[in-house]
């Protein structure tokens, strides 16, 4: 039965089972231009949806905006539409000095410091990427990532980008060995687990989240651009290998 997805403004019958998601609608368009015979399916708010071919399989690319709540709407509706595998192609801030801007991180799990997941699952529910997706991303990175360093590890999802009067938990999780921080992974991993679909995430490191190094933040440079371009192709190879 065909379903109308109200926020994505697409119908389930035109969605393939494999989808890449990203925050930036502009990045979704760039990814779509890598596909064979790309088609714009819909544009509504931050949700821009494209489809096309890669390695002989149909793939969709959908933007979800910034932050877990809006992204969760995208993830939920994709799954309602029959999607079986979702890989997030994003950016993140590094917690570790050896995970430098311009490198890539494949998230194995996310520390849930967001508000969204606290409203849909009880405390302690793990936000874990699918093992097969992690393996597919790491395999694709080894084959097509070139010289760009790739780190596999735990990331953290936080709602706030700019601080207020409360301190961010950066130092705590840095000491715990968390690799990087983003704003959507935990929502994706939890929702996918609840709905029984595969999910994972690869992120280009665009700076340091650590407050001591935050003044150096500048995501608009060649290192980050090259990492984003690499992760797009890695994610496409990975999702079509599932």
The three state secondary structure string of 191-230 is: HHHHHCCEEEEEEEEEEECCHHHHHHCCCCCHHHHHHHHH
Write out the H or E segment, with its range, that includes residue 173: helix 170-175
Please say whether the beta carbons of 185 and 107 come within 8 A.
yes
Homologous superfamily of domain range 4-241? Nucleoside phosphorylase domain (3.40.50.1580)
**Annotated active-site residue in 114, 130, 182, 206:** 206
**C-alpha closest to that of 179 among 212, 157, 211, 146:** 157
Domain boundaries, the chain: 4-241
The torsion angles phi and psi of 196, rounded to 5 degrees, stand at 75, 35
pLDDT (tens, 9 = 90+) of the chain, 242 residues, equals 899 999 999 999 999 999 999 999 999 999 999 999 999 999 999 999 999 999 999 999 999 999 999 999 999 999 999 999 999 999 999 999 999 999 999 999 999 999 999 999 999 999 999 999 999 999 999 998 779 999 999 999 999 988 889 989 999 999 999 999 999 999 999 999 999 999 999 999 999 987 555 556 677 888 999 999 999 999 999 999 99
Q: Clarify whether 206 is annotated catalytic.
A: yes
């Amino acid at each position: 039965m065909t379903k109308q997805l109200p926020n994505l403004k697409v119908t389930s019958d035109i969605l393939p089972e494999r989808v890449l998601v990203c925050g930036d609608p502009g990045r979704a368009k760039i990814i779509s231009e890598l596909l064979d015979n790309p088609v714009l399916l819909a544009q509504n708010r931050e949700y821009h949806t494209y489809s096309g071919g890669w390695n002989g399989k149909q793939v969709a690319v959908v933007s979800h905006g910034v932050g877990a709540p809006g992204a969760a709407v995208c993830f939920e509706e994709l799954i309602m539409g029959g999607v079986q595998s979702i890989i997030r192609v994003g950016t993140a801030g590094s917690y570790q000095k050896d995970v430098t801007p311009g490198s890539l991180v494949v998230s194995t799990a996310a520390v849930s410091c967001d508000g969204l997941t606290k409203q849909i699952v009880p405390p302690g529910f793990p936000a874990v990427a699918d093992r097969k997706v992690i393996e597919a991303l790491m395999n694709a990175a080894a084959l097509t990532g070139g010289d760009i360093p790739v780190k596999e590890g735990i990331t953290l999802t936080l709602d706030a980008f700019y601080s207020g009067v409360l301190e961010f938990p950066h130092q705590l999780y840095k000491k715990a060995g968390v690799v990087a921080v983003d704003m959507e992974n935990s929502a994706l991993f939890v929702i996918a687990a609840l709905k029984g679909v595969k999910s994972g995430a690869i992120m280009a490191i665009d700076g340091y989240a650590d407050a001591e190094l935050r003044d150096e933040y500048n995501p608009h440079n060649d290192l980050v651009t090259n990492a984003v371009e690499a992760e797009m192709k890695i994610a496409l190879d990975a999702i079509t290998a599932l």
